[in-house]
């Protein structure tokens, strides 16, 4: 009897581990492209859901002039709305005007500049 209970407990732990793994993998990464159409490097990309409060979007070392890079949304934005405002800070200190993009569009490319 004790042996059967231990086996059931082990099976339950294995099943819960698999379910937890499956749920954590359920976040389908959403990627989009950013095209820097300016003559300057982008040093910061700023994103805002409401168009008022901006937070920095991680772009690593930046986006060189003329380049197109692929970015990935953070899982914390999964329940956010489709429309986001973006602006870029350039290596000359200038900041672009904010532009609204619809991230529900397939194969979205943010064109900066």
Q: What is the DSSP string of the chain?
A: -HHHHHHHHHHHHHHHHHHHHHHHHT----EEEEEE-SSS-EEEEEEESSSSS-EEE--TT-B-TT-EEEEE--GGGTTS-SEEEEEEEETTS-BPPPEEEETTSTT-EEEE-
10 is a domain residue: no
pLDDT in tens, the chain (113 residues): 666 655 554 544 444 444 444 444 444 578 899 999 999 999 999 999 999 999 998 899 999 999 999 998 876 566 778 899 999 999 999 999 999 999 888 888 999 98
Query: In total, how many domains does the chain have?
Result: 1
pTM over 0.85: no
> What CATH number should be reported for the domain holding residue 42?
2.60.40
Identify the domain containing residue 96 by its residue range.
31-112
């Amino acid at each position: 009897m004790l042996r059967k209970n231990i086996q059931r407990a082990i099976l339950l732990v294995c099943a819960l581990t698999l379910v937890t793994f499956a749920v954590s993998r359920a976040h389908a990464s959403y990627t989009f492209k950013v095209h820097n159409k300016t003559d300057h490097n982008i040093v910061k990309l700023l994103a805002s859901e409401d168009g008022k409060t901006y937070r920095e979007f991680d772009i690593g070392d930046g986006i060189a002039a003329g380049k197109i890079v692929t970015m990935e949304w953070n899982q914390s934005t999964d329940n956010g709305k489709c429309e986001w405002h973006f602006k870029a800070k350039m290596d000359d200190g200038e900041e672009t005007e904010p532009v609204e993009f619809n991230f529900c569009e397939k194969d979205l490319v943010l064109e900066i500049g």
